[in-house]
Structure formats: C-alpha cells, structure tokens
Structure 1
Amino acid sequence: MKFGLGLFLAGSASLMLVGCDKAPSRNSASASQDHLARIKSSGELKVGLEGDWQPFSFHNEKDQLVGYDVEVAQNLAKKLGVKAKIVEGPWDGLFAGMDTGRYDLVINGVDVTPDRAKTYDFSTPYAYDRTVLITRSDNNDIHSFNDLKGKTTANSIGSTYQEIGEKYGAKVSGVDTLAETLQMVKNRQVQATINASTSYGDYMKHRPDEPLKIAATMDKVTEYAIPMKKGEDNASLKKAIDNALQEMKNDGTLSKLSVKYFGADLTKPN
C-alpha cells in the first residue's frame, strides 16, 4: 500500500507540474501587449496634468476639475474606448510620473522643444499659443526678452518658461503656479514672469484691475502636443492619439473646446 500510494503521489505531483507549465501567465501575457493594448485591457487612460493652470486645467467654483486639457483627455479616452483617469500633480513631476508608468500620457499644454523631442515622441499639435513676458504696468525697464539680463523672474520649476528666463540671463525663482508668479510680479518680489498668452489673458479676464502688462511677445508660435515615451511600445498609441486628434479637428470638437476655454479658436497656427 505504501508503495502504491507513493507512486500515486508522485504521479499526481507530475501532473500538477505539467498543469502549471501549461497555465498561461498573466505577466507574460501583459508583457506581450503594447501600451495601447494594455490601456484598452485596463479600461482606462491615466492622464497626468497640473490641475491649477487655468484655463488648461483648474477647479471651478464647485471644485470640479475642468479645463481645455481635461476635456481633450476625456474625449481622447472616449475615442480609444476607455475612461479617462485624470491624476493631478506638480509640473516638475509629470514627466517622471509618465516615465514610471503612473500616467499613460501627460496632457498639460506641453510645448514641443528640441530637448524634449530627444526623449519623447509627440502627437500632432492640438493647440497653438504665444509666449509672453509679463511685468508690472509701471515697469519701464523691461521691453524685450533681452532686457531680462540681470533681472529676476518667477516661473514653474522645470518649465520651458524657466529655461527661457535663464537663457536670457535672468535669475529665476521657482514656484508652483501661474497665480504665484503673477502675485510676485505684482508685489515687486520679482521683476517679470514668462508664461502662455492664453493663461495670462484668462487671468486678466477675471482680474482686469491687476497692475500687470505684456512687455514682449515671442515671434515663434508655441505648439502644444502630447508627449509619450519613445519606442515601439508606444507606436500604436501614438498613431491612435494622432487619429483621434484629427477626428476631433474634423468634427469641430477641438475648435469648440478652444473657444470655450480660450475665447478663440487656437487649433490652427496663428
């Protein structure tokens, strides 16, 4: 009996091992999918954005997260057949969050720069803007970006605007939000700030008496696009995002959202 039981147990163990070898691995199955397939399997598109950069993303009087980028993200997710899961975070952590997989995409008015293009692939542009230099209304020393040399500015840490200030020789104080930078200019803590024309325009629309002005505007148009990590894993995702954006342009969705949040159609180069 012991001998027979031993054979039975050994045989059962062998069968169990064979069964385990044939069972599909969830990890290996997931690893065989590209990024777009994993997004569709999960049923959600994780999007990182700031949440405090009006009119791109901000909280309204009911504390609801709204804005141009918020609705662009929601529409893109719908086009992909999934739901948008929007996660707010500081600007200087958005790209790191995408690199580690916390976000699938960053949709945050990201402008395409040569340095970023070395690391990330970008979608086709979905909005166009201008970069402006903002000072107090009574400032008579700054009339161009070249006048920033030796001056002080305030901008979001790690932003293109911080880089521009440093490029022109300014000492840049890093802060978190547009409102903070403009408050610092208003209070003479710094002499200028650099930001998007759309954001400044929206800020002044709600605070028309603020002692601020645009001292200079860059000639080059800013292209806003959606970055994603380079590589074959994102090839089909980039194609799907580009196709969805084109559909949103063709059916007028992007234009309507632009007028809603910017007060003008900024979906074409101006």
Structure 2
Amino acid sequence: MQSTITRRTLLTGAGALAALAGLGLAGCSGQDAGAGSTAASGDLLETIRDRGEMTFATEGTWSPWTFHNEEDELTGFDIEVARAVAAELGVEAAFAEGEWDGLLAGLDSGRFDTMANGVSVTPEREEQYDFTEPYAYNRIVVIAMEDSAIASLEDLDGMRTANTLGSSYATLAESYGATNTGVDDFNQTIELLEQGRIDATLNDEVVFYDYMNAHPDAPLKIAAENAEPTHVAFPLRKGEETAALREAMNEAIDTLRADGTLASLSNEFFGIDITSAS
C-alpha cells in the first residue's frame, strides 16, 4: 500500500476542489430524486434523442465524484463523464439529485435513465441491471482512526462500520462479519468514526485522499484495502428497451477513452488516472 503522503500529493488538485465544495455539503436533498420522469416505452435511446436530454441520477454530495463547487454548480468526475457521454449521444445531460436508495428506486421505476454516482458492478447488481462497460476502476479501502488495530478486511469481523445502505461498501463490510449502520453520506460516516461510534468505514481510496487533502489534521488512516479494483459503470434497466442505449453508451465510452477525455477528467478530479484496468 502506498503512503498517504505520496497519494495526497497526487490528489492536490482534487483536494482543492473538495475544500471549495465543502465536501458536497451544499448538495441538494433527496427531494429532487423524483424530478423528471424518464419512463419510456420501446427504444429508450430513441426516446432520449427525441427528448433531447438524458437524465442521470446522482447524490451530489460525494466529492470528488459528484459534488457542488463554490458557485454551487454540480460537478465532479461522474458528472463530467456523464455530460461527455450525453454529448456523444447528441443530447444534453440532466441530473436528478437525491440519496442513494432513492436513486436506485427511481432507476427501477423509470424516473431516471441511468445513474452517475460511481456505481460499482457487483454480481448482485448484475442480476437486476444491465451495465455499460466500465469507465473507471476503483479500489475500496478500510478507513479507520490512526490508532486502530485493524490491518486487514478479515479484521472487520465483529466490528461496527457505517455506510450507505445497499452500497457495495456496506455489502463488502458485512461479508467480512461487520455490523453496518446506515448513513446518508460520507461526511456523516466520518463524524461517527471520529466520535468512536463505529470502528471503521469502507469507501473509495480516492475519496479518502480527497478528504485528507481538505482535512489534513484528521486522525484517520487507510487500515486495509481490497485487493481487486471494482469496476465502475452506468447501470440500466434490464430489457430490450435499453439495449440500443447500452450499445450507444459503450461506443461513447470507447471514444472518450481513446481520445483521452476519461483520463483527463480522472486526473482533473482525482489527480491520478483510474480509467484503465491496468
């Protein structure tokens, strides 16, 4: 595992964004999650093009993936990738903000076309959704207090963790025997951790370094990490309705990877390129 100092240096640009955004605290509430029905019949790609916009569900409070900057403008790696994908499809990107569970429910019901929120591809989710090809490869880490004895994922057995219910982080923690407490966002998780109400939390490596850049005195560390990176992709409802859309989005992702757009956005928001599997 690389040292905190090395990766913090790499993430200086993203950390500055996080500091300006107040770590997404200016984000909208879950009330926006039902905005704008995108339910369609037949070919969703055709419907989106007729509509002239594609609706992406997002939290808006999870820097540097999706957050509000100092001008209260929604931005972040996922947001800018979504805008680039929509542009490749010849439409505008629209965003509906809310809490994680509401985003999934909205996708299921057809209120949103997809999600732009660092969605990890898992076997359980693949049973429910069709995913595009990955546009990022992310490493999950265990975040704990500096004096924590946790040194591996196996050490989570019997521990108290906190993550958004239904997230891949909560699922992974529970698979190692942890008891998970549901939270609304990363900031609430850190509060519980620093108050001693939980033993650890799981999140993205890049989110941890982004937070540490904005809070350099926080007594936190990466205690362990998942060996294999998770694949981040756009989820779509299963069925023939989304088949053409998925193909078009895959072509867009291929184009954005080939022309360097994905790598450029990753470096802008993370300070490193996480858009390649290698």
TM-score between both structures, scaled by the size of structure 1:
0.86
* Superposed CA offset, 1:138-194 (max 9, x none): 112x11111111111111111111111111111111101111112211121111001
Identity %: 46
User: For residue 141 of structure 2, what is the amino acid of its counterpart?
Assistant: V
Alignment of 1:106-185 (within 5 A): 106-140=115-149, 142-185=150-193
Q: C-alpha displacement at 1:33, in angstroms?
A: 4.1
User: Relative contact order, CA 8 A, sep 6+: which one is greater?
Assistant: 2
Equivalent of residue 224 in structure 2, options 203, 216, 222 = 216
Aligned twin of 2:48? 39
Provide closer, same or farther for how the CA distance between residues 191 and 76 of structure 1 changes in structure 2, counting only shifts above 3 A. Answer: same
Q: C-alpha displacement at 1:102, in angstroms?
A: 1.1
Structure number, greater radius of gyration: 1
Aligned twin of 1:11? none
The CA distance in 1 between the partners of 2:174 and 2:41, in whole Å, is 44
* Count of aligned positions: 240
User: For residue 163 of structure 1, what is the amino acid of its counterpart?
Assistant: T
Q: What secondary structure does 2:275 align onto? A: coil
Aligned twin of 1:253? 261
Aligned twin of 1:232? 240
Equivalent of residue 96 in structure 2, options 75, 87, 97 = 87
- Superposed CA RMSD in Å reads 1.3
Aligned twin of 2:79? 70
Q: C-alpha displacement at 1:120, in angstroms?
A: 0.9
Aligned twin of 2:25? none
Q: What secondary structure does 2:203 align onto? A: strand
TM-score between both structures, scaled by the size of structure 2:
0.84
Gaps of 5+ in 2: 1-38
Gaps of 5+ in 1: 1-29
Q: C-alpha displacement at 1:58, in angstroms?
A: 0.4
Equivalent of residue 200 in structure 1, options 208, 221, 224 = 208
Q: Is the 8 A contact 2:40 2:110 kept in 1?
A: no
The CA distance in 2 between the partners of 1:250 and 1:143, in whole Å, is 38
Q: What secondary structure does 1:204 align onto? A: helix
